[in-house]
Structure 1
Amino acid sequence: MLKLFRRPAQVYPLQLLHSYWSPVFDRFAEAVLIVDQYLNIYKSNITWQHFSQSDMQDLSLSLYPEDVHKLKSLLSSPQLTESCRIRLRDAQQNLRWFELSANYLVSQPETQQYYWCLLLSDHTEKIKQQYRQSAQQRSLNDLIKRLPMMLYRSRNDFDWTMEYLSDGCVDVTGYAPTELLNTPRFGQMIHPDDAPYVWSSVQDALNQKGIFDVIYRILLDGEQVVWVQDLGWGVYSESDMILAVEGVIWRTAEQMPEPIIDSISLKK
């Protein structure tokens, strides 16, 4: 296997490979290379030369070690087009991410050597941004999981049929999110004496495109009374149809005041 991957560059095909090269490649923002399956470089455009700042003829010297075998394996048999993501070190040894498109050119049957044209597009900043967003999302999800409150999205029906619930659902209701999703169970937990008040208060706020803030009782296991506070708002279509209700619910020691409705219009 080592011998296979270390085969030196062949001289014979150079003239043939020149026929696949175009001066237009030097105008590309992407790096363009003609290589064989052993990553010997036969031709390169100006973008690649600026990136590498050397006349190296071995692409593997710039590749991140873990990606060398991946790319050689990708080029080990002729296909029409292959693609993958690789990491390369620039002349200052900074690691950069590239989207690679490999287009098969021709083979040399007597040596079982395959030749490819590689198009390398630098996606470093895009991938760094994705990593930052992913890290931020993980931090936000971790925070939501630790909060003793329930973030929700529900249908605007009398049962408050839940379409999304955070893990804080357990702290508020005693149920796991999966036990309440797409069921009428949460609406049935609301104390019968409070259910009309909750419905009318929320509808008044939604009709004004405002924020509702209501306090009411829910019944755990049909018996234990728990007071909760529900702060939420509507989700609207472009034609002002109410698509859903979103908000957050947490347990509170306070008891039911007069309905509180914030009629400040929400931005869509």
Structure 2
Amino acid sequence: MLKLFRRPAQVYPLQLLQTYWSPVFDCFAEVVLIVDQYLNIYKSNIIWQQFSHTDGQGLTEWLYPEDVYQLKSLLSSSQLTQSCRIRLMDAQQNLRWFELSANYLLSQPDSQQHFWCLLLSDQTEKIKRQYLQSAQQRSLNDLIKRLPMMLYRSRNDFDWTMEYISDGCFDVTGYTPAELLNTPRYGQMIHPEDAPSVWSAVQDALNQKELFNVIYRILPDGERVVWVQDIGWGVYSESDMILAVEGIIWRSQPVQS
């Protein structure tokens, strides 16, 4: 007798889930899906149908294999809201990244199914830009590390107190960045006969908001003379206050007197 009053397993969710669906979803720029925790698709909007060229089937066949377990685990409990990033293969087998927000709808006690509304925002172009920027940054950092010259940012004080310095400082001075950062050491290396003229030339350029280009001597160990060339510029506030000095220093040929 109980079987006569039991709704068919497939009819019950479709009828009930219809109340959670709105035609407005077809106006969204994002994919909207109603699924269960097994990733069976019950409702989908036009964006999904254009992406997959179908309005049915399961989400699993579109998911990147490594992301199937992640998403199923996410939907296995009845938490109100969950989110993650997933990858899908489109109809042309192109890999696309999506930011997924999963909102819990209801459970069906008979079948122990949980139903979710998924909102998928395509992040492919953003991810590609991030990967490209990351790759470019890695290449730039690798290049800076290989160059036998030091990039720096210093305070505008007579000691040229370093706030940033690249690994190339070791080739120029024999000191590591850790030994030069936030200390007066670099300024104290400048030959006493050259320090006043270096300071004067840099200040003149900074006051004129011009590039400076100076050649001078440093004494890394207090005795050995190393000639360097220093090209840099000022960093200014909106009120034209000098915030810092940035530049690049490398070993140079001695100036002929």
**Fold match, TM over 0.5?**
yes
1:103 aligned partner, one-letter code: N
Q: Distance in 2 between matches of 1:10 and 1:98?
A: 29
- Where in structure 1 are there 5+ consecutive unaligned residues? 1-8, 258-268
Alignment of 1:1-268 (within 5 A): 10-255=10-255
Asked whether the 8 Å contact 2:229–2:252 carries over to 1, the reply is yes
Displacement of 1:160: 0.6
Could you list the per-position Cα deviations for residues 85-136 of structure 1 after superposition, in whole angstroms to 9, with x for gaps in the alignment? 1111111111111111111111223433211110011111111111111111
Q: Distance in 1 between matches of 2:190 and 2:13?
A: 79
Give the secondary-structure state (helix, strand or coil) at the position aligned to 1:175. coil
1:158 aligned partner, one-letter code: F
Could you list the per-position Cα deviations for residues 49-94 of structure 1 after superposition, in whole angstroms to 9, with x for gaps in the alignment? 0100024421000000001011111111122211111111111111
Displacement of 1:192: 1.4
**Range with greater deviation from structure 2 (190-199 or 11-20):** 11-20
1:188 aligned partner, one-letter code: Q
Give the secondary-structure state (helix, strand or coil) at the position aligned to 2:204. helix
Give the secondary-structure state (helix, strand or coil) at the position aligned to 1:142. helix
Q: Distance in 1 between matches of 2:105 and 2:256?
A: 75
Q: State the match for 2:4 in structure 1.
A: none
- Structure 1 segments, 4+ long, off by >4 Å, are none
Q: Distance in 1 between matches of 2:98 and 2:187?
A: 51
Q: State the match for 2:3 in structure 1.
A: none
Q: TM-score, normalization: structure 1? A: 0.89
2:19 aligned partner, one-letter code: S
- Over the aligned positions, Cα root-mean-square deviation in angstroms equals 1.4
Q: Distance in 1 between matches of 2:256 and 2:200?
A: 14
- Where in structure 2 are there 5+ consecutive unaligned residues? 1-8
Asked whether the 8 Å contact 1:215–1:256 carries over to 2, the reply is no
Displacement of 1:12: 2.5
Give the secondary-structure state (helix, strand or coil) at the position aligned to 1:12. helix
Asked whether the 8 Å contact 2:205–2:211 carries over to 1, the reply is yes
1:15 aligned partner, one-letter code: Q
Asked whether the 8 Å contact 2:42–2:56 carries over to 1, the reply is no
Q: Distance in 2 between matches of 1:109 and 1:169?
A: 68
Q: Distance in 2 between matches of 1:222 and 1:256?
A: 22
Q: State the match for 1:3 in structure 2.
A: none
Q: Distance in 1 between matches of 2:86 and 2:150?
A: 41
Displacement of 1:10: 4.8
Asked whether the 8 Å contact 2:154–2:162 carries over to 1, the reply is yes
Displacement of 1:11: 4.2
Displacement of 1:256: 7.5
**Range with greater deviation from structure 2 (143-152 or 247-256):** 247-256
Q: Distance in 2 between matches of 1:254 and 1:223?
A: 16
- For these two proteins, the number of residue pairs brought into alignment is 249
Displacement of 1:147: 0.6
Q: Distance in 2 between matches of 1:157 and 1:36?
A: 65
Q: Distance in 1 between matches of 2:239 and 2:182?
A: 25
1:164 aligned partner, one-letter code: Y
Asked whether the 8 Å contact 2:44–2:55 carries over to 1, the reply is no
